[in-house]
Every structure is written in C-alpha cells, then in structure tokens.
Structure 1
C-alpha cells in the first residue's frame, strides 16, 4: 500500500512510502478490537479495597452484658456492626479487575486498529521537526492541515522534543512514542499521524 508523505502544514512532501499489508492492510474485526479495548480498560482499573468485617476488627470478644434483664439486645461482643468501631455488615470484598489476553490477539488487535486508520484517517509525515516550536505556530499549521478535532501523533523511539512541547497545551492533540501505540488511543482519535520513523518501528515490532 503506497501512501503520500505529507508535511505539517498539510502540503505534499516529495515521495511516497510503502506500508506493509501485513500491518496496515488487514480487514478490521469488531470482536477482536472490542476484546483488546476491554482488556486495556479493565487493566487500568485499580483493585477494589476490602472493608473490615466482623472477623477483621480487633475488639474485645468478651460478652459485655447480661443475657437477660439489661433492657437491650443480647450482644456477645463489641465487634457487632451495630457498634461504633465494629465490623462492617456485608462490606465490600477485595477484587482485582485485571484480565489476561493472548499476545497474538493483542498484536492482531493493534494491526487491525492501524489498518482501520489506514482506510480512513491516516497521515504519514517525514518528521516532526518544527522551525518554530511554538504552540501558536503549530496550532496554525494544524488548522491548515485539516486533520480533524482529535489527533494522535506517534513518533519513533522518542517524540520530537520541540513538537511535544509545542503540542502540550493544544486540546485533543496527543503524542506518543512508537512503543506506546495501543488500540484504545488509536480508535478514539479521528486521525492517526505517523512519522516515517514510527512506521519503521511498528513494522519492525511485528516482523521481529
């Protein structure tokens, strides 16, 4: 698959880039993408903290009142939930929401997400080098490019420092290194912008 290499201002740069059909030419499957996104979001959740129930509270177990004649309920110890400092009745239990997912399915999901963007919403740049690494200048260039409201930019080993600094205060513009590419972030943005270095890293990641 051949794609034109663009510039940051939306113009056409000289040359094309050949994208691997094994990475960018698959037919996306909704069930695979759903499994990977669910796996990502569930693993972001922290574990649920348990509450202390009656058996977990360190209070006296001695029977503190008479069985009869006291005019109150017949309590056996101070751990009962009706007392201040007692155990919680039917409290929350510890839960871990993490899920496991086969590596092959995760890799397939990422390739399908890249393929979905290759059909609609993929832009390839030669690099993220900026002459003027200022937020205002970058905002003007992105407005001219017409990439949509939500843009995800992925670079090579590390995101270009000047571009990352200039894009830091722009809403709905997110930047990632190639190693951080993931299905959820790719799908929730309107446009995916890859540098030439990012394409090389992603293709090497699957071919390796």
Structure 2
C-alpha cells in the first residue's frame, strides 16, 4: 500500500510503501475486543483487603461482665465497634488483570493499524520537528491536515521535544513514541499520524 508523505504544513511529497504484513491484515472484531479488554483491565489496580474480625490480633477474653456493668454485652476487643477491631464485611483482595497471549496482542496491534490504513485514516509526516514550539502556530498547521476530533501522533524513539511542548494544551491531540503504540489509543483516534521514524520503528518492531 502506498501513501503520500506530507510535511506538517500539509504539503504532499513523495510516496512511501506500507508493509502489507503490518498494514494489510484483515481486522477481526473479536481479536480487537480481547486486546482492548485486556488493556483496560491491566490499568485497574488490585483491591486492597481490609482486616476482618478473625484477622485482627486482639485478646479473645470477654470484655466485661454479661450483666450489671451498665454497658453493652460485648464479647471481645476484636469487635468492629472498637478502635483496632476487625472491619465488618470489609473489602476482599481481588486482582482484575488477566493474561493474554503475546501472539494475540501482536495480531491485535497489526489489525488496529490495518484498520486505519484501509479506512484512509492514516497519515505519514516527514517529521514532527517545529521551527517554533508555539501552540497557536501548531494549531493552524494541524487545521490544514483535517485530522478530525482526535488524532494520535506516533514518532520514533521519542516524540520531538518541540512538538510535545506545542501540542501539550491542544485538545484531541495525543502523541507517543513508537514503543508505546497500542490498540486502544489507535482505535479511539479519528486519524493516526506516523512520522517516517515512527513507521520504521513500528515495522521493525514486528519484523524483529
């Protein structure tokens, strides 16, 4: 598949070939769903357990006389109403993540990239380097590219510092290095923007 390489000003240049093994895979909704579900569940932190009555190290001796003390008929100091006592019906320890085969994760990323390429929602830029790291100037340049409401920019080893600074306050503009490319962020973006360096890193990631 061939696409045009643009400058960040929107000017079209030479064609570049997209590797069909990465950008020409038929997408399957079930694979994409599995990978996105795995990603979102991996973000959740484990639930911390609270100590219940049987978990608290307190004396088991009866607190006071059953009658005649003028107080409630307490059993021992581990009761939930006492400071240091066990919690009644406290949260239990739970983990929400589940494992997913690396082969499925890799296939899901290829399918997400292919889905953008086949839908014409992929754009290749020569570089993200800016002469002036000004937010207003960058917003004007990106307006010429017709990126939609949300765009994801993927660069090489690191996002160019000038672009990262200028785009930090732009709503709907996300950026990351090629190593951070993932199915969830790619699918939720209206347009996927790759630099030459980012494209090379992505293809090398799968070929390596």
Q: TM-score range by the shorter chain?
A: over 0.9
Matched, 1:65 2:64: yes
- How far apart are residue 65 of structure 1 and its match? 2.2
Where does 1:13-162 land on structure 2 (aligned, <5 Å)?
13=13, 15-68=14-67, 74-120=73-119, 121-162=121-162
- How far apart are residue 67 of structure 1 and its match? 3.9
Which residues of structure 1 form unaligned runs of 5+? none
- How far apart are residue 9 of structure 1 and its match? 2.2
- How far apart are residue 89 of structure 1 and its match? 1.6
Stretch deviating more after TM superposition (4-13 or 83-92): 83-92
3-state SS of paired residue (1:3):
strand
Stretch deviating more after TM superposition (190-199 or 54-63): 54-63
Corresponding residue for 2:185? Answer: 185
1:154–1:178 contact (8 Å) kept in structure 2: yes
- How far apart are residue 159 of structure 1 and its match? 1.0
1:10–1:146 contact (8 Å) kept in structure 2: no
Tell me, in whole angstroms, the C-alpha distance in 2 between the residues paired with 1:181 and 1:20: 17
Matched, 1:10 2:4: no
After superposition, give the CA deviation of every residue in 1:80-138 in whole Å (9 maximum; x if it has no partner). Answer: 22445421122111111121111000000000000011122100111112222211110
3-state SS of paired residue (1:106):
helix
TM-score in terms of structure 2 length: 0.93
3-state SS of paired residue (1:145):
coil
- How far apart are residue 154 of structure 1 and its match? 0.2
Tell me, in whole angstroms, the C-alpha distance in 2 between the residues paired with 1:162 and 1:82: 58
Which residues of structure 2 form unaligned runs of 5+? none
Tell me, in whole angstroms, the C-alpha distance in 2 between the residues paired with 1:64 and 1:155: 67
Stretch deviating more after TM superposition (81-90 or 15-24): 81-90
Tell me, in whole angstroms, the C-alpha distance in 1 between the residues paired with 2:132 and 2:39: 36
- Name the Cα RMSD after superposition: 1.6
Aligned length: 207
Tell me, in whole angstroms, the C-alpha distance in 2 between the residues paired with 1:50 and 1:135: 46
Stretch deviating more after TM superposition (102-111 or 52-61): 52-61
Structure 1 runs of 4+ with >3 Å offset: 67-75, 82-85
- How far apart are residue 49 of structure 1 and its match? 1.0
Tell me, in whole angstroms, the C-alpha distance in 2 between the residues paired with 1:85 and 1:180: 45
Tell me, in whole angstroms, the C-alpha distance in 2 between the residues paired with 1:82 and 1:163: 57
Corresponding residue for 2:205? Answer: 205
Stretch deviating more after TM superposition (22-31 or 69-78): 69-78
3-state SS of paired residue (2:4):
strand
3-state SS of paired residue (2:10):
coil
